[in-house]
């Protein structure tokens, strides 16, 4: 029997994302002078991007920076088109940092990981030499030129066919040119040749890696007409690292769950190399898009975001780091988005905030779903415009003073025990892990204090005032999972059903203690 949770719907218009196709190739320079001149141009262009980034932070405009008499052209020996492209690259980096909520002033050109490794000064000899080479290539190995239909494809980096071979003519910015032979067996090569013959625009980006220059050609394709939209419902995706699989939920326009399934991603983990891994991910993307076309529905995913990777020595544990580093979350979603655009399937991206928490607390016990399918269901409902209301049983639970006192006492006791363990631990890595768990316990205590009447609403927004606190879903997760179910991310969520419907936690009230397996010393289960 289908559940029909009450909800409100909000219609929103969505602008279709641009679809790009590309070709990756190696550049071979017959002339050593041409290669030297190209590397010098890449160095100057990279420096211009960094300079433009800092000037944009100061408030200067793109129009002022790209002028012939502006700072970029004379300082770095670039023509106005290269200067404009350098400013565009800088603006893209600035916008990206702001969208991720990062301080734009702390962006590190060349990569923060390499910068931090070099700053530690713990390497010497060949490893240090290789690291410095990689750092130099990242900072100085960039050249980009946008395509322009009015200029016959690309004015600065132009494709030429001579004697049956494909060449790239590189404008060095001073009226002279360098030439490089293009070597590639990319499946989109014929499409690129057709654009070159037809004088259609294509973008070119040169990059430096291991002393070799590579070119990436991209161009925008007209998206296929939409044949599957969210008017018929959505197929929602949730990628999970443990177990490593993709959870799918088919949600009807009225917000009900029609079907759900999972696709294993273990084959991705077993792939012998990067190329084989990419093939498996594309295969899964085709399965997802084909399923959406079969039902005539849109695809709903979480908005792509950066996932922090743990490092050795940070106390996270080897097994957890391995799960993080094999996690192909962004790669798979990008492939699904790209393929959907080409086949006329609408893609709806939603805010990922608290989707897993709401799924575990509400729909996993209500509909007897796994936590991953429940999270996908929440993503699908959010894509359709539904807002999740807090069930009455949970509202009643949050009003229960004995429950609040018990949970706060649990975390206070846990923090005390973690402090004692950390003081007695001599292993610095285990001490770091205990410190992380202690900080987490403190954050949970701080979150529980929001029950005393800080701003918030039952939907988790910040409109109005509500006695349930600023983030009731997060408070419930903190109060129910570890203190009562014995795990930070429990697998069996069925014990929450009586609380969900009636707000009663009688099964645990006897001694005001956790169930078997719970308590401050219970094992923590991490989830990505």
Residues 136 and 189 placed together within one structural domain of the fold: yes
Q: How many CB atoms lie within 10 A of CB 507?
A: 11
Residues 268 and 403 placed together within one structural domain of the fold: no
Residues 193 and 78 placed together within one structural domain of the fold: yes
Say if 523 falls within a structural domain.
Answer: no
Dihedral angle of Cα 512, 517, 518, 519, to the nearest 10 degrees = 90
| Percentage of the chain modeled with pLDDT above 90 | 43
Q: Are strands 212-221 and 297-302 parallel, antiparallel or unpaired?
A: unpaired
Least confident of 230-234, 354-358, 448-452, 465-469: 465-469
Going by C-beta distance under 8 Å and a sequence separation of 6 or more, which residues neighbour residue 218? 20, 21, 22, 23, 202, 203, 205
- Say if CB 456 and CB 470 are below 8 A apart: yes
Residues 304 and 350 placed together within one structural domain of the fold: yes
**In this structure, what token pair is assigned to residue 15?**
């602008």
Residues 49 and 179 placed together within one structural domain of the fold: yes
**In this structure, what token pair is assigned to residue 372?**
């991953």
Structurally, the chain folds into a number of domains equal to: 3
Domain boundary among 333, 361, 384: 384
pTM: 0.66
Domain boundary among 221, 243, 276: 221
Residues 409 and 481 placed together within one structural domain of the fold: yes
Residues 326 and 427 placed together within one structural domain of the fold: no
Say if 9 falls within a structural domain.
Answer: no
Residues 369 and 406 placed together within one structural domain of the fold: no
Domain boundary among 384, 412, 433: 384
Say if 28 falls within a structural domain.
Answer: yes
The confidence band for 60, taking pLDDT boundaries of 50, 70 and 90, is very high
Say if 171 falls within a structural domain.
Answer: yes
Residues 37 and 80 placed together within one structural domain of the fold: yes
Residue 261 vs residues 13, 25, 246: alpha-carbon distances, Å: 29, 39, 9
- Say if CB 82 and CB 173 are below 8 A apart: yes
Structural domain including 412 reads 392-451+472-502
pLDDT of residue 9: 41
| Statement: residue 317 has pLDDT above 90 | no
| Statement: residue 166 has pLDDT above 70 | yes
Residues 319 and 401 placed together within one structural domain of the fold: no
Residues 371 and 396 placed together within one structural domain of the fold: no
pLDDT of residue 322: 52
Residues 334 and 189 placed together within one structural domain of the fold: no
């Amino acid at each position: 029997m289908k559940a029909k949770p009450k909800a409100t719907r909000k219609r929103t218009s969505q602008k279709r994302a641009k679809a790009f196709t590309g070709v990756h190739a190696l550049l071979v320079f017959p002339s050593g002078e041409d290669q030297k001149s190209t590397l010098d141009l890449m160095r100057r262009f990279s420096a211009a991007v960094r300079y433009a980034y800092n000037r944009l932070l100061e408030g200067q405009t793109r129009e002022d920076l790209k002028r012939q008499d502006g700072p970029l052209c004379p300082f770095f020996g670039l023509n106005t088109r290269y200067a404009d492209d350098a400013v565009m690259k800088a603006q893209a980096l600035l916008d990206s940092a702001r969208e991720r909520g990062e301080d734009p002033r702390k962006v590190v050109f060349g990569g923060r990981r390499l910068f931090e490794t070099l700053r530690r000064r713990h390497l010497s000899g060949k490893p240090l030499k290789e690291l410095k080479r990689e750092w130099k290539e990242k900072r100085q190995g960039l050249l980009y030129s946008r395509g322009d239909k009015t200029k016959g494809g690309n004015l600065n980096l132009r494709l030429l066919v001579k004697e049956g071979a494909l060449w790239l003519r590189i404008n060095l910015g001073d009226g002279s040119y360098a030439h490089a032979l293009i070597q590639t067996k990319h499946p989109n090569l014929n499409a690129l040749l057709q654009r070159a013959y037809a004088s259609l625009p294509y973008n070119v980006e040169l990059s430096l890696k291991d002393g070799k220059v590579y070119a990436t050609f991209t161009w925008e394709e007209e998206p296929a007409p939409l044949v599957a939209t969210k008017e018929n419902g959505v197929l929602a995706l949730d990628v999970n690292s443990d177990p490593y699989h993709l959870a799918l939920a088919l949600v009807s326009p009225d917000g009900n769950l029609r079907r759900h399934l999972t696709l294993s991603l273990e084959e991705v983990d077993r792939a012998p190399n990067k190329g084989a891994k990419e093939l498996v991910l594309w295969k899964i993307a085709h399965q997802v898009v084909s399923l959406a076309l079969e039902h005539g529905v849109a695809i709903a995913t979480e908005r792509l975001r950066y996932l922090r990777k743990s490092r050795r020595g940070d106390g996270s544990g080897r097994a957890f780091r391995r799960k993080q580093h094999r996690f192909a979350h962004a790669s798979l979603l990008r492939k699904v988005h790209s393929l959907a655009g080409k086949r006329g399937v609408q893609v709806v991206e939603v805010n990922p905030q608290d989707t897993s928490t709401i799924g575990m607390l509400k729909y996993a016990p209500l509909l007897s779903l796994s936590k991953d399918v429940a999270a996908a269901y929440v993503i699908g409902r959010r894509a359709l415009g539904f807002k999740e209301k807090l069930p009455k049983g949970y509202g009643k639970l949050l009003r229960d003073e004995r429950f609040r006192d018990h949970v706060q006492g649990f975390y206070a006791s846990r923090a005390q025990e973690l402090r004692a363990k950390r003081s007695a631990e001599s292993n610095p890595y285990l001490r770091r892990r205990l410190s992380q768990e202690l900080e987490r316990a403190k954050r949970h205590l701080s979150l529980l204090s929001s029950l005393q009447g800080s701003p918030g609403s039952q939907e988790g927004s910040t409109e109005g005032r509500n006695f349930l606190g600023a983030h009731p879903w997060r408070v419930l997760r903190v109060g129910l999972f570890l203190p009562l179910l014995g795990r930070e991310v429990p697998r069996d969520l069925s014990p929450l059903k009586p609380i969900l419907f009636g707000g009663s936690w009688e099964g645990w009230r006897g001694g005001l203690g956790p169930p078997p397996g719970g308590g401050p010393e219970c094992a923590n289960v991490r989830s990505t």
